[in-house]
């Protein structure tokens, strides 16, 4: 913002103010000379404000900085978070392995991971705990630990609101009694748990929609899709996912429904990236992905997938839906305009887990857990050619994954 500048010993245009006898006032000729000089200066300033110097011509010989993509991946059985770097046309590499966890005699289980929308921080859930799990906050890039907070039993997936203010972690309660569990709501700047919202049996795969108003999670053992209103911090809607009986449920219906032989067993919910009131739900047992309209609460389309759809990613341009197939060592790619599966891309190791795309929707990164002591991997898929173009070994049981542009290259995901 412009204004007067109070300089040392003066005010305004740098004219000094001294103590003692004031300077002699100029005569007519001197005054005219001052006016003429001021006019020239003002004309020069005006011209300088209107005329820009010619832009320098680009140097064709100057090197072009490569586009650099980076992802963080949590390795559950090795208590490591891997930072994987990929430049198109090159082999992906592991830049750094960040140790996490506190227990010396057992692994803490790094499970879910998310990067803040501004790219400054990343957060990881430690699922195993003694007995409760935790959420850790790191400075992205230096990868230094900034804060941590205790959550519930086996916190698994974690999502972040578009403004970066709230983190929502699903307390999966894998080793506890089969009772309704909850979603922990954490204030990200202070890392204080604000509340726990009881939802259902084994909540998982939670994400915040593009508006920042709603959070959606799946209930693996209640066959439900649960909507949380972030303004009220309360369950605002439920949807039954049992095949053949899909439909709205009362918001306070937290327990399991009457069991049948046909179940969805949902593992992931992915809100649409294009601002519509649409979410995609992976039915792990029923081998399909459901497209659900959350305005009218009805199933719009079904996408048959094959064995074990687990995690989902809708590309930012709204063109593709990616589904990892945990039971088929592959990623199914669907064209969202037609609803047709356009490719099934084999992955490098079995137990295919997580998937995330680049902000320009050109590449996808896929984590593979592997089996036993075999290292997990991160695969890179070219979403134009629909082929795998690179693989990097990471830690054991690679799972949660999220994109980070890094200090160079493309910006972090919006």
Mean pLDDT value of segment 289-314: 97
- What gap in Å lies between CA 269 and CA 5, rounded to an integer? 56
CB 83 within 8 A of CB 68: no
316 confidence band (pLDDT: 50, 70, 90): very high
pLDDT number for residue 349: 98
Mode of pairing for the β-strands spanning 144-150 and 134-139: antiparallel
Mean residue pLDDT of the chain comes to 86
Q: What are phi and psi of 358, to 5 degrees?
A: -75, 160
pLDDT number for residue 262: 79
62 confidence band (pLDDT: 50, 70, 90): low
Mode of pairing for the β-strands spanning 330-335 and 340-346: antiparallel
Task: Reply yes or no on whether the pLDDT at 46 is more than 60.
Answer: no
- What gap in Å lies between CA 335 and CA 281, rounded to an integer? 16
Mean pLDDT value of segment 99-124: 92
pLDDT number for residue 139: 97
pLDDT number for residue 17: 36
pLDDT number for residue 34: 40
Mean pLDDT value of segment 237-248: 95
pLDDT number for residue 29: 42
pLDDT number for residue 155: 96
pLDDT number for residue 180: 92
Task: Reply yes or no on whether the pLDDT at 218 is more than 80.
Answer: yes
pLDDT number for residue 73: 98
Task: Reply yes or no on whether the pLDDT at 394 is more than 80.
Answer: yes
Taken in order 299, 178, 180, 214, is the CA torsion positive or negative?
negative
pLDDT digits (tens, 9 = 90+) for 250-267: 998 765 555 556 799 999
Task: Reply yes or no on whether the pLDDT at 231 is more than 50.
Answer: yes
pLDDT number for residue 28: 37
Mean pLDDT value of segment 378-406: 96
Mean pLDDT value of segment 157-171: 97
pLDDT number for residue 130: 78
pLDDT number for residue 257: 52
- What gap in Å lies between CA 256 and CA 269, rounded to an integer? 19
19 confidence band (pLDDT: 50, 70, 90): very low
Mean pLDDT value of segment 80-109: 93
pLDDT number for residue 339: 96
């Amino acid at each position: 913002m412009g204004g007067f500048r109070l300089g040392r010993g003066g005010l305004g245009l740098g004219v000094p103010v001294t103590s003692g006898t004031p300077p002699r006032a100029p005569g007519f000729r001197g005054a005219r000379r001052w006016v003429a000089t001021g006019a020239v200066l003002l004309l020069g300033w005006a011209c300088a404000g209107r005329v820009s110097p010619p832009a320098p011509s680009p140097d064709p010989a100057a090197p072009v900085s490569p586009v650099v993509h980076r992802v963080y991946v949590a390795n559950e059985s090795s208590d490591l978070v891997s930072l994987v770097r990929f430049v198109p046309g090159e082999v992906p590499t592991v830049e750094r392995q960040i140790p996490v966890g506190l227990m010396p005699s057992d692994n803490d289980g790094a499970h879910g991971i998310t990067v803040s929308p501004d790219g400054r921080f990343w957060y990881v859930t430690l699922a195993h705990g003694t007995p409760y799990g935790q959420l850790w906050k790191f400075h992205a890039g230096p990868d230094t630990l900034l804060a941590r907070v205790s959550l519930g039993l086996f916190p698994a997936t974690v999502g972040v609101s578009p403004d970066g203010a709230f983190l929502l972690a699903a307390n999966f309660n894998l080793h506890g009694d089969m009772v309704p569990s909850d979603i922990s709501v954490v204030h990200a700047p202070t890392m204080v748990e604000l509340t726990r919202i009881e939802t259902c049996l084994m909540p998982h795969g939670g994400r915040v929609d593009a508006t920042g108003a709603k959070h959606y999670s799946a209930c693996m053992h209640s066959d439900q899709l649960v909507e949380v209103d972030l303004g009220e911090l309360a369950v605002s809607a439920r949807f039954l996912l049992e095949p053949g009986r899909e439909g709205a449920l009362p918001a306070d219906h937290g327990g399991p429904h009457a069991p049948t032989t046909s179940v969805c067993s949902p593992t992931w919910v992915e809100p649409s990236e294009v601002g519509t009131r649409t979410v995609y739900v992976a039915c792990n047992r029923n081998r399909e992905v459901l497209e659900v309209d959350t305005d009218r609460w009805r199933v719009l389309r079904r996408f048959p997938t094959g064995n074990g759809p687990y995690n989902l990613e809708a590309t930012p341009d709204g063109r593709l839906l990616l589904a990892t197939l945990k039971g088929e060592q592959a990623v199914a790619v669907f064209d969202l305009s037609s609803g047709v599966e356009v490719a099934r891309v084999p992955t490098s190791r079995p137990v295919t887990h997580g998937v995330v795309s680049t902000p320009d929707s050109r590449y996808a990164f896929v984590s593979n857990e592997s089996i036993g002591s075999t290292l997990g991997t991160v695969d890179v898929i070219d979403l134009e050619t629909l082929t795998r173009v690179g693989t990097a070994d990471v830690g054991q049981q690679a799972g949660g994954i999220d994109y980070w542009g890094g200090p160079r290259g493309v910006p972090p995901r919006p």
